[in-house]
Amino acid sequence: MIALMIATAVSTFVSLFGTRYLIRFFRTRGQGQPILGKEDRGPDHHMVKQGTPTMGGLAIVGAAFVGWTAAHVRDLAFSRQAMIVWAGVLFLAMMGFLDDYIKVRKRHNRGIFWKQKNYITMLASFVMAWGLVVGTGISETISLTRPDIGIEIPTFAWILWAGVIIWATTNAVNVTDGLDGLAAGSAAMGFGAFTLIAYWAFRNGEIYGAVVNPLDMGVFAAAFAGGCLGFLWWNAAPARIFMGDVGALAIGSALAFLALTTDTHLLIILICGINVMEAGSVAIQMAVFKASGRKRRLFRMSPIHHHFELIGWPETTVIIRFWLISGICIASAVAIFIADFTSVAADLP
């Protein structure tokens, strides 16, 4: 428990002051986020935000790493699994950083990877899933709350399954990052849930013995929760800095890795419920548009948070209501996890 508290406190502190430094750093250089205008069918009602400093995700990732490292000063060993997870998160964060950097330099909200990024992240996700299999003793099952009630599948199929989870979650968080504080706030709640789940697995090894290094993954989740909280101080509406792709890709991959390493693959649908809703709205919009011969759209604009803005909801109203939806989904996921634990614990001697 102390390790979790250290990770959260240190990462929150570092993120809070690190984000403030990034705001000053980017402002003095006159570099900020370009916004897609009407010519690109973007949210032109957000043009007033153009020039806001971006790449604030650097503070989230850096703070999370510092907080996670600091938590190991009290006899907590660095696990191989956490190292592999960090390698994956940092790789995707680096991709996001390159995309953000090129957007700022070109002064257009499409980086060099805007077409190829999907394929690169997908390939990287499969490689990361393979790394978990060969580098750790991770359970090769499709699980809801624990491997014991999961479906065991062949290694190759599990790598494909896990790769899709990493890729889909990463892109879903990236799609969600369109309103001030929406992605960071919902992610902080998600990381909080995974902190609880991982710590619960650590304290109840007789039930969750198949979970590899649950305490280290709990510290990892706590560190990211703190990083998001510190960043949210400056990212809350009206945002003084955006997280950028560097933050969205890192956060999305971190959430996916936590679902895989805690054997709660299917629970991530609820824990990332708001992200599923956002990404799903884009998929539905595209399907309706193509099916109608490119004549009709279901929503006024996708992702769906822009639809609600265009029907008259103030941005802060959309954000708070979406946070509430996220909180309800996450609470439901934790309730399912605890309910399963209670049913199993009742049968223990």
Model pTM? Answer: 0.93
Mean pLDDT along residues 268-289:
93
CA 70/CA 223 separation, integer angstroms = 10
- What pLDDT does 298 receive? 85
* Amino acid symbol at 106: K
Taking a C-beta distance cutoff of 8 angstroms, is the pair 315, 237 a contact?
yes
Compute the distance between CA of residue 292 and CA of residue 161 in angstroms, rounded to an integer.
32
Q: Please give the structure tokens belonging to residue 162.
A: 């896990």
* Residues 292-337 pLDDT 10s: 887 788 888 889 988 898 898 999 999 999 999 999 999 999 999 9
Cβ proximity of 218 and 199 under 8 Å: yes
Which residues, 6+ apart, have CB-to-CB distance to 116 below 8 Å? none
**Dihedral pair phi/psi, residue 297, rounded to 5°:** -130, 145
Residue 178, CA distances (Å) to 78, 116, 245, 291, 304 in order: 35, 21, 11, 26, 10
pLDDT at 108 over 70: no
CA distance 349 to 340: 17
| Contact between 257 and 223 (Cβ < 8 Å) | no
Tokens of 201: 């697995």
Pairing of strands 141-142, 151-152: antiparallel
DSSP state string for 36-55: --GGGT--GGGGGGTT----
In this model, does residue 51 exceed pLDDT 70? no
Residue 241: left if φ>0, alpha if ψ -120 to 50, beta else—which one? beta
Amino acid at 334: V
d(CA 202, CA 254): 19
Confidence of residue 32 (pLDDT cuts 50, 70, 90): low
Dihedral of the alpha carbons of 177, 183, 184, 189, in degrees to the nearest 10 = -170
| Average pLDDT value for residue range 55-60 | 94
| Domain boundary assignment for the chain | 2-345
At 40 the pLDDT is: 47
Distance of CA 95 to the CA centre of its chain: 15
Give the span between the Cα atoms of 35 and 31, in whole angstroms: 13
> 105, 53, 88: which is closest to 244 by C-alpha?
53
Q: Which residues pair with 151 in a beta bridge?
A: 142
Q: Give the model's pLDDT for residue 27.
A: 82
Give the alpha-carbon dihedral of 21, 97, 72, 271, to 10 degrees.
Answer: 110
- Between 23-32, 106-115, 333-342, the lowest mean confidence (pLDDT) is in 106-115
